[in-house]
Amino acid sequence: MRVLLEKACELLSQGEVVALPTETVYGLAASLRHPNAIENIFALKNRPANNPLIIHVSHYEQIYPYAQSIPPYFVKLAQHFWPGPLTLVLPIQPATIPNTVRAGLTTAAFRIPQHPLSQAVIKQVGPVVMPSANLSGRPSATQASRVEEDFGTAFPVLDGGGCTCGLESTILYFIDNQWEIVRLGSLAPEQFQPILGYQPVIRQETNQAKPLCPGQLYRHYAPQAKLLLDNKASPESIGYVLGFSDRQYPNCKIFSLGKSDNPEQVAENLYDTLRSLDDAKIQCIWVDSDFPQKGLWLTISERLKRASYPSSII
């Protein structure tokens, strides 16, 4: 059910869960003041309890009362990238944030979204937690109709049009005296160099029992279709291609991600195209992975890999 801004604010203030648009992907929002609504988010998404939520605020100084300490360059990063697709993980004072939000960790993740509607909601309602508005494991939703696909047409959605970034925020974590990327996202690693003076390392999760970014342990972004990446089969033998509009794949039906020289366009289209594979009931598809391994392509590549994992291995 599409709701207007005022209704969305009213529902959130009453302890309901509402889907909101952000510039990255749609989010399932609950007010930080309503523990029941926060628990409801985990149930609705079928999300494991050990996967913490991002707290969305409207000004970076709102974070100070929760923080245990402020890492170097926090203000520089906040002033340069917020509002925008960046999430920062900070050590917090545990008593200030419900355990469910941070999955028992002594850190919490924060971000200021850029979409004017989510900003307007947060200004009125106060901080909200907001995981991506999809059932756990499915591709994130980048349009209101895709939220309704997962949660039903009776579910309240504030329709803000298509998400312009199309990929989740990049998550930075201050560890061993430097900021590291614990989740690739809409901001490319290179974009941090001018602010930090170094390009943050992309941390590969090695500690399964105590991961730095628990969400990275799960199979994600996956359609029903089996995605064939780096495979030896020819596209023609499969018959379906997830590829680019400026390339030729003879005798194949193409699901286009956009032009191969435009990673921003590919990012914007990625999840919707993955979901359209399910609309078309595709069982198996050849993925054109011939693109550079840098910039935003790194995130696109990571999402495609995650979407291609057989569910049994994660």
Q: Which parts are annotated binding residues for L-threonine? A: 24, 56, 111, 169
Contact flags string 244-283 toward ligand TXA, x per CB under 6 A: ----------------------------------------
Single residue of 84, 131, 139, 235 touching ligand TXA by CB under 6 A: 131
Question: CB under 5 to 8 A by kind: which of ligand TXA, Mg ion, none does 51 bind?
Answer: ligand TXA
Phi first, then psi: what are they for 145, rounded to 5°?
A: -65, -30
Which element (helix H / strand E) includes 128? Answer: strand 128-129
Q: Which does 23 bind (CB under 5 to 8 A by kind): Mg ion, ligand TXA, none?
A: none
> Smallest distance, Å, CB 196 to Mg ion?
25
Q: Which of 41, 313, 307, 22 is nearest to 161 (CA)?
A: 22
Stretch of 66-74, 130-138, 198-206, 267-275 lying at the interface with ligand TXA (CB under 6 A): 130-138
By a kind-dependent CB cut-off of 5 to 8 A, residue 183 interacts, out of ligand TXA, Mg ion, none, with ligand TXA
Please give the Cα distance from 47 to 131 (Å, whole number): 10
Q: Nearest to residue 101, comparing CAs of 134, 126, 137, 130? A: 130
Is 109 one of the binding residues for ligand TXA (CB under 6 A)?
yes
Given 12, 18, 21, 24, the residue binding ligand TXA (CB under 6 A): 24
Residue 121 found at the interface with ligand TXA (CB under 6 A):
no
Token couple for 157: 């959605």
Q: Answer for the pair 221, 303: CB distance below 8 angstroms, yes or no.
A: yes
33 vs 36, 38, 111, 234, CA distance in Å?
9, 9, 17, 54
Which x/- pattern over 146-185 shows residues binding ligand TXA (rule: CB under 6 A)?
----------------------xx-x-----------x--
Nearer to ligand TXA, 240 or 271 (CB): 271
Residues tagged in the binding site annotation for ATP: 47, 51, 107, 132, 140, 183, 221
Q: Residue 135 carries which DSSP code?
A: -
Q: How far apart are CA 241 and CA 260, in angstroms?
A: 14
Residues 215-244 touching ligand TXA, rule: CB under 6 A, are 215-216
State which of residues 114, 132, 269, 289 lies at the interface with ligand TXA (CB under 6 A).
Answer: 132
| Distance of alpha carbon 254 from alpha carbon 256, whole angstroms | 6
Question: Residue 130 interacts with ligand TXA (CB under 6 A)?
Answer: yes
Binding partner selected for residue 53 from Mg ion, ligand TXA, none, CB under the kind-specific 5 to 8 Å limit: ligand TXA
Subset of residues 46 to 75 that bind ligand TXA, contact rule: CB under 6 A: 51-54
Task: Give the total residue count for the chain.
Answer: 314
Pick one of Mg ion, ligand TXA, none as the site partner of residue 52 (Cβ within 5 to 8 A by kind).
ligand TXA
**Rounded-to-integer distance, Cα 92 and Cα 104, Å:** 11
Tell me if 136 contacts ligand TXA by CB under 6 A.
no
Half-sphere exposure of 266 (CA within 13 A, CB side): 23
Label residues 61-94 b or e (16+ Cβ within 10 Å = b): eebeebbeeebebbeebbeebbbbbbbbbbbbeb
Binding site for ligand TXA (CB under 6 A): 22, 24-25, 27, 51-54, 85, 87, 89, 102, 105, 107-109, 111, 113, 130-132, 168-169, 171, 183, 212-216
